[in-house]
Amino acid sequence: MSAKNGKPTYVPRKTSNTTTYVLGAVALVVIAVVVIGGVIWQTHRSKPRNDGYGSVQNSQVQVQLQDKGVIRLGQQFASKTIDLYEDAMCPYCAQLEQTNGQEIAQAIDDGKLAVNYHMVDFLNQLSNSGDYSTRAVAASECVAEGGDAIAFGKFHAQLFSKDGQPKEHGSSDHTNDELATFAKDAGAKDTVTQCISSGSKVADAKTNATGAAQQLTAMGGQGTPSVFQGTTAVDTQKSSWVADLQ
């Protein structure tokens, strides 16, 4: 304290250089902890759950191409059903598949879950061909129509795999013949690969994708991926979201 005009005033003590360095070092450590903690959290969030399980493998699982291009994957009397909206060019959809796809597959195999896939084509303009999202919808419909659930599961996983999904604004994407090869490698029948190669479902897929986008908007969805259980949006940022459904 010191006095000026009879009134006490506060005079800050000058901080020593040593104290400054210590405080600065502490601040750097705190920042580092926060950054590293965030990286660890994100790594944990994106780490594949049920890693090693793979795609669906139970012969009791069915795949059906339903009205308006909805693809249902699950056992007939599955306990719970979710609706998943996705775009084959969407990197966040790929992240969801890579993180939770195997967990979803096991829940489907166990009869605990069925999934209605609603594929949209918001991101055509980000593909090199300008219509990749639509053609991926068409290819998925061809595989689903083939009726082999195990083949569909493998094909779907490949669409969103790190090697399978084209990059946004990339120099290339997949031709119909390449998508047909994905289906063949997944175990689909020749009629399915011909359906994809010929592009016979592309026009219908465009209509179905538009309808799915309109339905997503009506449900209150803000983009892809979006997951709903009935009319309730599911928070897929929670690492336990699939388990919480069961």
Angle (CA) 26-28-34 rounded to 5° is 105
Instruction: Answer yes or no: are the C-beta atoms of 141 and 65 closer than 8 Å.
Output: yes
Integer Cα distance of 149 and 197 in angstroms? 20
| Share of residues in the chain with pLDDT > 90 (%) | 80
**What would the mean pLDDT of 161-165 be, rounded to a whole number?**
97
Instruction: Read off the pLDDT of residues 24-56 as tens digits, 9 standing for 90 and up.
Output: 443 343 333 333 333 333 434 569 999 999 999
Burial classification of residue 210, based on how many CB atoms lie within 10 Å of its CB (0-12 exposed, 13-18 middle, 19 or more buried): middle
Integer Cα distance of 70 and 91 in angstroms? 21
pLDDT attached to residue 45: 54
Integer Cα distance of 63 and 212 in angstroms? 18
Q: Is the pLDDT of residue 19 over 60?
A: no
Instruction: Read off the pLDDT of residues 219-234 as tens digits, 9 standing for 90 and up.
Output: 999 899 999 999 999 9
Sign for the pseudo-dihedral over CA of 228, 231, 233, 234: negative
- Taken as a whole, the chain contains a residue count of 246
- The closest of 34, 41, 43, 116 to 73, measured between CA atoms, is 116
How many H-runs (helices) and E-runs (strands) does the chain carry? 8, 8
pLDDT attached to residue 222: 87
What is the value of pTM for the model shown?
0.82
pLDDT category of residue 246 using cuts at 50, 70 and 90: confident
Q: Is the pLDDT of residue 22 over 50?
A: no
Helix (H, G, I), strand (E, B) or coil at 172: coil
Instruction: Answer yes or no: are the C-beta atoms of 228 and 82 closer than 8 Å.
Output: yes
**What would the mean pLDDT of 105-111 be, rounded to a whole number?**
98
Instruction: Read off the pLDDT of residues 166-211 as tens digits, 9 standing for 90 and up.
Output: 999 999 999 999 999 999 999 999 999 999 999 999 999 999 999 9
